[in-house]
Amino acid sequence: MLSAAELEILSTSFQVALLALVWSLPIAIACAYLLSRQFPGKFTLDGLVHLPIILPPVLTGFLLLLLFGRHGPIGAWLERAAGIHLVFTRGGAALATAVMTFPPLVRTIRVAFEAMDPKLFAAAALLRARPLDRFVTIALPLAGPGILAGTVTAFAAGMGEFGAVITFAANIPGQTQTLPLAIYAVLQQPGGEAQALRLATISFVLAMSGLIGAELLQRWMRRRLAG
């Protein structure tokens, strides 16, 4: 049985990962579709999308602080215009998680778009289907398995994000303390190894469940599309 503290940590982790996914998925689908096509500036966009993978997570969190902090250009505007404050909040943890999980999410969906037969789009264009119609009626359904797999994988990865979250949102119990942050916290306490192992086991089980779930959902959707 999980204790009340562990349930609170799990709840925070789920909420942060889910909110990060809601924020990033529409943008990831749009970026993945663009990157699967040829257009001026593709190389630049590809580099920007994958920047969080190249940079250390702590540096990514620091850059988020500079941009979204109370005195940052975006953060100051958000607070002035809408009263939104992200630093050291659950929303901030979700933002940091969204940024870190965005590159693999885009990559997975992009592969699904690139695997499509271009003749389908050419035929739809001959039938005078507009670009938006082709995207909605052809691209999205065919990329469904990849989008679904990327979504589940990104959610599982979001549950394990550490560096950017602790830098931008801190480690506040009940607010921003997710599973990896809780493991880090108990390891700083004398005799906390047993609790850290218990939390690590929970994290491992959730991560493996996410990977298995992504594979099963992908196979199910492929069978459905083939049928």
Domain of 45: which CATH number? 1.10.3720.10
Which residue has 């709840």 as its token pair?
11
Taking 70 as the threshold, does the pLDDT of residue 227 lie above it?
A: no
Q: How many Å apart are CA 177 and CA 165, to the nearest integer? A: 9
26-84 residue pLDDT tens: 999 999 999 998 889 899 999 999 999 999 999 999 999 999 998 899 999 999 999 99
What pLDDT is recorded for position 117? 81
As given in the structure block, the two tokens for residue 110 are 């992009």
Dihedral sign, Cα of residue 30, residue 35, residue 36, residue 37: positive
> What mean pLDDT do residues 169-185 have?
92
| Residue 41 region by backbone torsions, left for phi larger than 0, else alpha for psi between -120 and 50, else beta | left
Taking 80 as the threshold, does the pLDDT of residue 25 lie above it?
A: yes
Q: How many Å apart are CA 106 and CA 102, to the nearest integer? A: 6
Q: How many Å apart are CA 139 and CA 96, to the nearest integer? A: 29
Taking 80 as the threshold, does the pLDDT of residue 224 lie above it?
A: no
Q: What is the 3-state secondary structure (H, E, C) of 141-175?
A: HHCHHHHHHHHHHHHHHHHCCCHHHHHHHCCCCCC
What pLDDT is recorded for position 88? 92
The beta strand positions in the chain, using DSSP E, are none
Residues making up the chain, counted from first to last: 227
Centre a 10 Å sphere on the Cβ of residue 195 and count the other Cβ atoms it contains.
Answer: 18
Percent of the chain with pLDDT over 90: 52
In order, the DSSP letters of 73-87 are HHHHHHHHHH----T
Which residue segment(s) compose the domain that 93 sits in? 4-226
Domain count, the chain: 1
